[in-house]
Structure 1
Amino acid sequence: MKVLILGSGVIGVTSAWYLAKSGHDVTVIDRQSTVANETSFANAGQISPGYSAPWAAPGIPIKAMKWLMQELAPLKISIKDLDTETMLWMTKLVANCNTKDYHRNKSRMMRVAEYSRDCLRAIREEININYDHRTQGTMQVFRTRTQVESAKKDIQVLTECGVEHKVLSAEDCLDYEPALKHTIHKIVGGLHLPNDETGDCHQFVTELAKDCERMGVKFVMNTSIEKLNKQGNEITGVATDKGEFKADTYLMALGSYSTHMLANVGIKVPVYPVKGYSLTLPIEDYSAAPESTVMDETYKVAITRLGDRIRVGGTAEIAAYNTTLLEKRRKNIEYSIAELFPHAGDLGKAEFWSGLRPMTPDGTPILGKTNIDNLFLNTGHGTLGWTMSLGSAKFVSDVMNDQTPDIDSEGLSIDRYGR
């Protein structure tokens, strides 16, 4: 079967790998010159099933109002970019900010994320792939007692889902991240998730694409996708600036750009772009650098060790499809690493980056079949594209092959939003 995958980020390339392994003739098409060159390029580096949680949580609307009044805050809203689509998406997100929906959505997300980590481990055993990975877990650090109390609800879900974790005192945090010894007075406690991992997503996708090519996958780059051509209940081709591409089956993996492309063929998905930012800086003092990932709960900033570099990622900016790299957003992520690991790296040499995360209002990605016979979806992973990529790709590959997936499919398809 000929499969055409739209998008060459971590979602598209991992999907290509599994589909090629199952014997299909796979082509990946993308407007960029190289794979993983947009949202997958410089994300936070976390592979964090244990930290998989929807943004839509009880109390978030009130917190969001407070954040908007703060200079250093995890959420920013660009008023000039607010439009009807943005307001509708935000309304749906707020509707999920209750205890019942939060627990249901978190369980769905963790189901995919835990499976994805297992798939990643299996790939490492199968092929030699280097991506500066570490397997020392994630440590969430709390600066206030209020945060410690609030975390109890998440810990309850971790317990219910059988996710290994350990609640830490401030002193316990030093056992996992000794470099915090200079700033431990700013921390009141933490939560360690030992089964989480870290790694450079861009490097991983680049290496995996090479393995895909060895299996016969074709990558058509520098090609802008214009629209899906539909006749009856099938996609007949994909129109691009280089002509029309045809296949038997099509997989949508365009992240935030899936929404408008699908709308043109009558499929509505609540996938919205939320801009995130990161810094990548060289390590100056290895003894002062983090060992793995530290999540600063106050500012929702992840600080991750990637070989001889540190990746600092965070901030959620609601600004529609505005991709402008704003220097004023740099302060939030700079502040977090300067506060916790002040001597670790050279901020003067940091590379500043932003990307659009494809968010659903309930946090769970949209995977599998659509009401168009030969069109499938793998999109809407939000901040967890790297974390959920392998599991999502394997799940969708199984669905496309008419095989029973390894995990429960409940709540993962577009059907959860109604037809």
Structure 2
Amino acid sequence: MHILVLGAGVVGVTTAWFLRQQGYDVTVVDRQSNAGTETSYANGGQISVSHAEPWANPSAPLKVLKWLARSDAPLLFRPSMDPAQWRWAIAFLRQCTSARAAHNIRQIVRLGTYSRECLQALRKDTGIEYSHLERGILHFYTNPAEFESALEPARIMRELGCDRQVIDADHAVELEPALAPVRHRIAGATYTSEDESGDACQFTQALAKKAQDAGVEFLYQTDILGFENTRDRVLGVNVIRAGKHQTLHADSYVLCLGSFSAILARKLGLFLNIYPAKGYSITVPVKNEEAAFNVSLTDDEFKLVFSRLGDRIRVAGTAELSGYSRELNLARCRAIVRRTAELMPEAGHWEQSEFWAGLRPATPSNVPYIGKSHFGNLYLNTGHGTLGWTHSCGSAAALTDIVAGRKPDVEFAFTGL
């Protein structure tokens, strides 16, 4: 069977890899000149099962209202005339109940735990290098109310097998001495020892090379326009490649185009409630090794994640619901620099920060679409939001099982099943 994978980000490339490992002929199509150069390029770098609390939770509506007037707010909603934005926002509010938030945490933790296991197995089998660290993730809180609100989600995660332990400030500093200068400000923390970090772009490009060596064909610099289809099957994908209009044919198709999946799916009459949440990151060289962290960190109050990537520091976060533009909002970039420099002034050369923005494909629940569409030969692996790197290997392994007619090894609310 020949399968066409649409998208060469971390989700698309892992999908191609797992499909190829099961013997399928695979072609990957992407508009960029290399794999992993859009949303996977400079994300937060965390493999974070512990980052499972969805944005949609009981405290979110009031926070969003409070943040509307702040250009540097952690979650910024910029209202527009786009009907897709409002459909997403209304669905988001419906997910903000305690019961739905708990349900979504369960889905996200199960998929995350399984995905981390799949990544570890892949790393062992291939020897792939991507500046990874296995030192856990430490969530710290400088706001007592934020710490209190984290206790119940952490309890649910522990029940599901994610060992997110609640610890005090002294234990947090013991685990990560770089936090010592702000010890007096830490209200509490949680620590998940099994979580990891690593450079998603390095991983994606290295895995794409291994996939290519294994027989996967990559068609880069190819713009995807739409489909040829019947009422219940996809017949081909219309593209522009080397300036020429072509139709690419396969037996089955997998949609892995991140935020752009929803736009393309609409051409088939298929509604995916995915909206781009623009995220920002800074990447800076380490300044003082003793002052720089090695345990991956999460600042939940400011929605920032910190990863150590060799001699670089990556800090990423915030979400801006403002459409498909990837234009930098410098106020948001500077807010990341300001908060990070305040916490760890000697860790990095903050004045050398490289700014980046990417569109994360968010669903209202933070639960991705993985499974079969109502088109008999079209599969979905998209809508992973901030957790595309965390969920990529597990999503790809599960989708490969679905394509093969097997039940995946993870308990998850798969699409179309």
Task: Give the TM-score taking structure 1 as reference length.
Answer: 0.96
- Greater shift, 399-408 or 91-100, is seen at 399-408
The more displaced of 329-338 and 278-287 is 329-338
Q: What amino acid sits opposite 1:302 in the alignment? A: V
Alignment of 1:239-254 (within 5 A): 239-242=238-241, 243-254=246-257
- In the alignment, does 2:122 pair up with 1:120? no
Q: Over aligned residues, Cα RMSD in angstroms?
A: 1.2
Structure 1 match to 2:16? 16
The one-letter code sitting in structure 2 at the alignment partner of 1:135 is E
Give the superposition deviation at 1:336: 2.1
What pairs up with 1:165-314 in 2 under 5 angstroms? 165-242=164-241, 243-314=246-317
1:405 to 384, 404, 408: 408
1:342 aligns with 2:341: no
Q: Does 1:45 align with 2:42?
A: no
CA distance, structure 1, for counterparts of residue 217 and residue 271 of structure 2: 29
Do structure 1's residue 392 and structure 2's residue 395 form an aligned pair?
yes
Deviation track 1:292-326 (CA, whole Å, cap 9, x = no partner) reads: 21111221111111111000001110111122112
CA-to-aligned-CA distance 1:25-46 (integer Å, 9 cap, x gap): 1000000001001000000001
Q: 8 Å contact 1:269–1:414 — kept in the other structure? A: no
Counterpart CA distance in 2 for 1:138 and 1:254 is 28
Cα deviation, 1:182-205, whole Å, max 9, x if unaligned, reads: 222221211111111000000001
Residue deviations 1:324-376, cap 9 Å, x none? 11212112211221121111111222210000000111111100101101000
CA distance in 1, matches of 2:32, 2:353: 24
| Distance across 2 between alignment mates of 1:53 and 1:256 | 21
Is residue 56 of structure 1 aligned with residue 59 of structure 2?
A: no
Pair 1:33 & 2:33 matched: yes
Q: Percent identity?
A: 39
Residues 55-109 of structure 1: per-residue CA shift (max 9 Å, x gap): 1101210111112244542012234x45211011000000000011001011011
Q: Indicate if the aligned counterparts of 1:82 and 1:320 stay in contact, CA closer than 8 A.
A: no
CA distance in 2 between partners of 1:280 and 1:26 (Å) = 34
Q: Provide structure 1 residue ranges, at least 5 long, that are not aligned to the other structure.
A: none
Aligned counterparts of 1:268 and 1:109: Cα–Cα separation in 2: 22
Provide the residue aligned with 2:104 in structure 1: 105
Opposite residue 130 of structure 2, the aligned amino acid is Y
SS in 2 for 1:269: coil
Q: 2:85: which partner in 1?
A: 86
Q: Displacement of 1:391 after TM fit?
A: 0.2
Q: Provide Cα deviations, 1:101-132, integer angstroms capped at 9, x if missing partner.
A: 00101101111110000000001110111100
Structure 2, unpaired ranges of 5+:
none
Q: Does 1:77 align with 2:77?
A: yes
Write the letter of the residue equivalent to 1:53.
E
Give secondary structure in 2 for the equivalent of 1:50: coil
Contact 1:283–1:289 (CA<8 Å) still a contact in 2?
yes
The yes-or-no answer on 1:157 pairing with 2:156 is yes
CA distance in structure 1 between the partners assigned to 2:144 and 2:396 by the alignment: 39
Q: Which amino acid counterpart does residue 391 of structure 2 have in structure 1?
A: M
1:377 is aligned to 380
Residue aligning to 2:3? 3
Q: Distance in 2 between matches of 1:145 and 1:158?
A: 20
Secondary structure of 1:192's aligned partner? strand
Kindly indicate whether the alpha-carbon contact (under 8 Å) linking 2:72 and 2:331 is maintained by their aligned counterparts in 1.
no
CA distance in 2, matches of 1:154, 1:282: 34
Q: Distance in 2 between matches of 1:362 and 1:23?
A: 34
Counterparts of 2:264 and 2:276, CA distance in 1: 14
CA contact (8 A) 1:299 1:332 kept: no
Q: Residue 49 of structure 2 aligns to which amino acid in structure 1?
A: P
Residues 270 and 361, structure 1, Cα contact 8 Å, conserved in 2: yes
For residues 330 and 54 of structure 1, the distance between their equivalents in structure 2, rounded to whole angstroms, comes to 23
Matched, 1:352 2:351: no
Once residues 215 and 162 of structure 1 are traced to their aligned partners in structure 2, the CA distance between those partners, rounded to angstroms, is: 35
Aligned mates of 1:246, 1:292 — CA distance in 2: 46
Q: Structure 2 CA distance, aligned partners of 1:407 and 1:333?
A: 36
Q: Which residue identity is paired with 2:349?
A: D
